[in-house]
């Protein structure tokens, strides 16, 4: 069992003058909160945080990381809270522990392998402080080292997760030794027999080849020197899992694997690499078909190197990799793989900069004299443009930053999107405009009656959701425009004492096509959208019947108002129902006002006050008669301008007067002017014109109020 002194000694070995009081305090605290808990191994629980902190100190990390290592399980497994940790150990430590706790709490239930890449990205995104990930990896490493004490099904689950998620993460951070240890440990638990057999065999073979590595290294170095090439030659035994993987992938036996030891020649330039290749091929006979040039044809993950297999000094096949220092760095850090390129598209410059920076992180750490500089308040957003959330089943979905539950709903299914009525995030209801956060568990609530609205376009972030919403609105508007167009035409026909139903049955198709519409419906929809007027159709119809010179006589208008269902806005359009109606925002009409309807292009009918200055500019052809209905319970917004003396308490006094008149205030704006008066604009809700009068007279009675006027338009 690791003791606290082992950790302190390790820290002092690379930070001789470090003040370790925080680490010691964390040790005492951790011992206290974990008191009485034991590991499955039977050891006191404290042995785990100590081991994790020791691993972190072996990586020469800073004091905050090591302190967090000692405390990493305290919030999850004891009564300790993040707030308490922050008070005692500072913000940095608390934030790291919080991050580690959050990652530990995610349950990856389904299809881990299939989703591995997304899970890795989500963990990275959640580790805004890279130290979170380093502590998490150390935690996982120690758990893997003691995995034999777990029950079998848990062993398998944790080992699988390690192989799919954590070993690749270690590799991306350039911690190659950890990646190899994690892989070999996971392999030993997933395939115990294969592991032990293979390890024994490899050991025997390497034992037979003692001195072999040095011999080959020397031959290569000497030969390169003859040609004035300076290089490094590496020969390293491969780890068991990578040998196993190669045997599996290529379906070969150990006898057929010749690179138990991988030789690598590292040079300065690309030209030198090809030169060295020529020298190697002159020295040992190359095996035909085994040469690969990944320098001129890099792998998708940017890996570059020359690979060749030759017949070595003892007649044995030998694989040799030849590359530059830079290529070697990229290969060993394994970071370029997914981070510089994803799905074939180049990531943003900003992102690339961050990855570059991360890539250099581990190098810096090695070079720095004082690791206290290292990772000091290192915070970053590894994937600033993306957010990863989970379905209730533990499936991960990727979205652009700023995505909302609506995007999530459409990502599940179009129908779920169309009927999305609400959302729960981590079990709590959130508004639809809620911005999804990394690690959120999102559940969509649907209702048959809920349908998309135009406002959703402002909320939705993904192009998929936006396209589906637009499509829905378009279909909806088409249907409503067809009804409106039909009604408008019927009215126009009636005005001219013509039979609209007869027209539809007999001549409509011909007229539609002569007006360049594909179908009769298209023509009627265009009328509803206001693209053509009903009188154009009538004129065309009559001229087709009676010749081009036929002049339209203004027939006497026959208005026959049938009892129709009023719209929810309380507006009745003569002879029509089921029409989209909007109250104009410029003049905010209320019942009792003289109003006029205007057929907009594609958005139904807008209701203006007749006195609205905007009405004068409207095309006369597209105006429709409208009236208010009286029996509805709707409130109408109305804009009021109030000018008062510039004295204290005016806003409160006027607001009170409005409320006293039983009107709801939606908005209030204030501007003071140099002329010692204050200008207020209220947006209030009233039932009708009479109610409005009551509100206005109420305001006028307030002392200091100089003028009250309804705003004509904006």
Beta partners for residue 443, in sequence order: 424
Query: No. of H helices and E strands in the chain?
Result: 30, 22
Q: Give whichever of 148 and 332 is closer to Mn ion, judged by the CB atom.
A: 148
Total residues in contact with Mn ion, by rule CB under 5 A:
2
Q: Give whichever of 137 and 276 is closer to Mn ion, judged by the CB atom.
A: 137
Using a 10 angstrom Cβ sphere, with 0-12 exposed, 13-18 middle and 19 or more buried, the burial of residue 706 is: exposed
Q: Where are the beta strands (DSSP E) in 241-328?
A: 261-267, 292-293, 306-311, 317-324
Q: How far is the CB of 68 from Mn ion (least distance, A)?
A: 11
Q: Give whichever of 139 and 161 is closer to Mn ion, judged by the CB atom.
A: 139
Stretch that binds Mn ion, among 68-76, 108-116, 471-479, 565-573 (CB under 5 A): 68-76
Q: Give whichever of 13 and 105 is closer to Mn ion, judged by the CB atom.
A: 105
Tokens of 189: 């638990």
> Is 99 within 8 Å of 132 (Cβ atoms)?
yes
Classify 244 as helix, strand or coil: helix
Q: What is the chain's length?
A: 714
Q: Give whichever of 139 and 522 is closer to Mn ion, judged by the CB atom.
A: 139
Give, for 397, the enclosing helix (H) or strand (E): strand 396-400
Around 615, how many Cα atoms within 13 Å sit in the side-chain half-sphere? 22
Q: Give whichever of 139 and 569 is closer to Mn ion, judged by the CB atom.
A: 139
Q: How far is the CB of 183 from Mn ion (least distance, A)?
A: 20
Q: Which of 76, 370, 455, 502 is catalytic?
A: 76
Place of tokens 């004082």: 370
Q: Which of 6, 24, 43, 77 is catalytic?
A: 77
Q: What is the x/- site pattern for Mn ion, positions 4-43, by CB under 5 A?
A: ----------------------------------------
Per DSSP, the residues of 651-668 read: HHHHHHHHHHTT-EEEEE
Stretch that binds Mn ion, among 65-73, 507-515, 526-534, 602-610 (CB under 5 A): 65-73
Beta strands at 705-710 and 636-645: parallel, antiparallel or unpaired = antiparallel
Q: What is the x/- site pattern for Mn ion, positions 494-533, by CB under 5 A?
A: ----------------------------------------
Q: How far is the CB of 582 from Mn ion (least distance, A)?
A: 59
Q: How far is the CB of 176 from Mn ion (least distance, A)?
A: 23
Q: How far is the CB of 178 from Mn ion (least distance, A)?
A: 16
Q: Give whichever of 139 and 184 is closer to Mn ion, judged by the CB atom.
A: 139
Stretch that binds Mn ion, among 67-75, 329-337, 404-412, 559-567 (CB under 5 A): 67-75
Helix axes 534-546, 463-495, angle to 10 degrees: 50
Q: Give whichever of 139 and 183 is closer to Mn ion, judged by the CB atom.
A: 139
Q: How far is the CB of 36 from Mn ion (least distance, A)?
A: 17
Radius of gyration of the chain (CA): 38
Q: How far is the CB of 55 from Mn ion (least distance, A)?
A: 11
Q: How far is the CB of 73 from Mn ion (least distance, A)?
A: 4
Is residue 77 annotated as part of the catalytic site, yes or no? yes
CA gap 519, 447 in Å, rounded: 35
Question: Could you tell me where the DSSP H helices lie in 496-612?
Answer: 500-506, 508-514, 520-529, 534-546
Q: Give whichever of 34 and 179 is closer to Mn ion, judged by the CB atom.
A: 34
Q: Give whichever of 107 and 370 is closer to Mn ion, judged by the CB atom.
A: 107
Is residue 76 annotated as part of the catalytic site, yes or no? yes
| Contact pick of 62, 73, 319, 328 for Mn ion (by CB under 5 A) | 73
CA angle 262/267/273 to nearest 5° reads 85
For 647, phi then psi, to 5°, come to -135, 160
For 571, phi then psi, to 5°, come to -115, 135
Q: How far is the CB of 142 from Mn ion (least distance, A)?
A: 7
Tokens of 4: 């606290």
**Nearby residues of 480 by Cβ (< 8 Å), 6 or more positions away:** 528, 578, 579, 580, 604
Q: How far is the CB of 236 from Mn ion (least distance, A)?
A: 31
680-699 positions binding Mn ion, by CB under 5 A: none
Q: What is the x/- site pattern for Mn ion, positions 125-154, by CB under 5 A?
A: --------------x---------------
411-450 positions binding Mn ion, by CB under 5 A: none
315-344 positions binding Mn ion, by CB under 5 A: none
Q: How far is the CB of 105 from Mn ion (least distance, A)?
A: 12
Q: State the residue number with the nearest CB to Mn ion.
A: 139
Q: Give whichever of 139 and 440 is closer to Mn ion, judged by the CB atom.
A: 139
Tokens of 335: 């970071």
CA angle 670/675/678 to nearest 5° reads 20
- Which of 655, 650, 666, 658 minimizes the C-alpha distance to 694? 658
Stretch that binds Mn ion, among 69-77, 209-217, 395-403, 650-658 (CB under 5 A): 69-77
For 626, phi then psi, to 5°, come to -140, 155
Place of tokens 């008066």: 677
> Is 93 within 8 Å of 68 (Cβ atoms)?
yes
**Nearby residues of 138 by Cβ (< 8 Å), 6 or more positions away:** 52, 53, 55, 56, 59, 69
Contact between 161 and Mn ion per CB under 5 A: no
- Which of 416, 410, 411, 384 minimizes the C-alpha distance to 397? 411
Stretch that binds Mn ion, among 8-16, 70-78, 498-506, 507-515 (CB under 5 A): 70-78
Helix, strand, coil in percent for the chain, rounding step 5: 50, 15, 35
Stretch that binds Mn ion, among 53-61, 66-74, 165-173, 393-401 (CB under 5 A): 66-74
Stretch that binds Mn ion, among 71-79, 114-122, 198-206, 281-289 (CB under 5 A): 71-79
> Which residues are tagged catalytic?
76-77
* Residue numbers at the binding site for Mn ion (CB under 5 A): 73, 139
């Amino acid at each position: 069992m690791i003791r606290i002194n082992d950790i302190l000694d390790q820290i002092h070995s690379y930070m001789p003058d470090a003040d370790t009081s925080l680490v010691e305090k964390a040790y005492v605290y951790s011992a206290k909160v974990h008191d009485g808990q034991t590991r499955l191994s039977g050891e006191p629980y404290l042995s785990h945080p100590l081991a994790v902190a020791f691993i972190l100190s072996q990586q020469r990390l800073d004091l905050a990381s090591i302190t967090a290592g000692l405390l990493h399980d305290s919030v999850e497994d004891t009564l300790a809270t993040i707030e308490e940790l922050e008070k005692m150990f500072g913000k940095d430590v608390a934030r790291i522990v919080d991050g580690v706790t959050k990652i530990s709490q995610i349950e990856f239930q389904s299809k881990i392998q299939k989703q591995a890449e997304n899970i890795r990205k989500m963990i990275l995104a959640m580790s805004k402080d890279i130290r979170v990930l380093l502590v998490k990896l150390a935690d996982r490493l120690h758990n893997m080292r003691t995995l034999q004490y777990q029950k079998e099904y848990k062993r398998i689950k944790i080992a699988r997760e390690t192989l799919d998620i954590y070993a690749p993460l270690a590799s991306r951070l350039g911690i190659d030794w950890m990646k190899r240890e994690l892989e070999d440990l996971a392999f030993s638990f997933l395939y115990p027999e294969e592991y032990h057999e293979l390890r024994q065999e490899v050991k025997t073979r390497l034992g037979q080849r003692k001195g072999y590595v040095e011999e080959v290294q020397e031959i290569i170095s000497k030969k390169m020197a003859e040609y004035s090439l300076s290089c490094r030659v590496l020969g390293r035994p491969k780890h068991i899992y990578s040998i196993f993987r190669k045997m599996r992938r290529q379906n070969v036996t150990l006898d057929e694997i010749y690179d138990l030891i991988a030789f690598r020649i590292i040079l300065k330039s690309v030209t030198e690499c090809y030169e060295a290749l020529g020298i190697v091929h002159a020295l040992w006979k190359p095996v035909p078909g085994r040469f690969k040039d990944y320098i001129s044809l890099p792998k998708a993950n940017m890996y570059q190197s020359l690979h060749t297999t030759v017949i070595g000094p003892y007649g044995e096949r030998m694989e040799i990799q030849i590359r530059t220092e830079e290529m070697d760095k990229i290969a060993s850090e394994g970071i370029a793989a997914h981070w510089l390129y994803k799905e074939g598209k180049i990531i943003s410059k900003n992102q690339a900069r961050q990855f570059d920076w991360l890539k250099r992180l581990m190098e810096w750490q090695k070079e720095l004299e004082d690791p206290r500089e290292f990772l000091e308040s290192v915070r970053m957003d590894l994937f600033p443009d993306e957010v990863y959330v989970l379905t209730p089943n533990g499936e991960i979905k990727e979205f652009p930053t700023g995505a909302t539950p609506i995007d999530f709903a459409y990502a599940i299914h179009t129908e779920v999107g169309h009927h999305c009525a609400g959302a729960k995030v981590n079990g709590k209801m959130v508004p639809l405009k809620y911005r999804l956060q990394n690690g959120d568990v999102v559940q969509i609530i649907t209702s048959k009656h809920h349908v998309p609205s135009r406002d959703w376009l402002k909320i939705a972030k993904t192009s998929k959701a936006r396209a589906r919403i637009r499509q829905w609105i378009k279909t909806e508007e088409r249907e409503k425009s067809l009804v409106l167009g039909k009604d408008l035409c019927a009215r126009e026909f009636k005005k001219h004492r013509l039979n609209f139903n007869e027209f539809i049955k007999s001549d409509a198709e011909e007229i539609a096509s002569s007006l360049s519409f594909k179908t009769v419906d298209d023509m009627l929809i265009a009328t509803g959208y206001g693209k053509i007027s009903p009188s154009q159709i009538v004129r065309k119809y009559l001229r087709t019947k009676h010749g081009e010179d036929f002049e339209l006589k203004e027939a006497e208008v026959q208005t026959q108002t049938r009892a129709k269902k009023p719209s929810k806005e309380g507006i009745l359009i003569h002879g029509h129902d089921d029409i989209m109606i909007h109250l104009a925002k410029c003049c905010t009409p209320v019942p009792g006002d003289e109003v006029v309807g205007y057929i907009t292009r594609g958005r139904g009918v807008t209701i203006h006050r007749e006195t609205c200055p905007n009405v004068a500019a409207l095309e006369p052809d597209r105006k429709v008669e409208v009236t208010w209905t009286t029996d509805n319970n709707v409130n109408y917004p109305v804009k009021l301008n109030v000018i008062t003396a510039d004295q204290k308490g005016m806003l409160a006094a006027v607001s009170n007067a409005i409320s006293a008149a039983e009107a709801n205030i939606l908005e209030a704006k204030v501007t003071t002017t140099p002329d010692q008066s204050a200008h207020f604009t209220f947006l209030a809700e009233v039932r009708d014109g009479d109610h409005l009068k009551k509100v206005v007279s109420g305001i006028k009675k307030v002392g200091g109020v100089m003028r009250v006027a309804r705003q004509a338009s904006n």
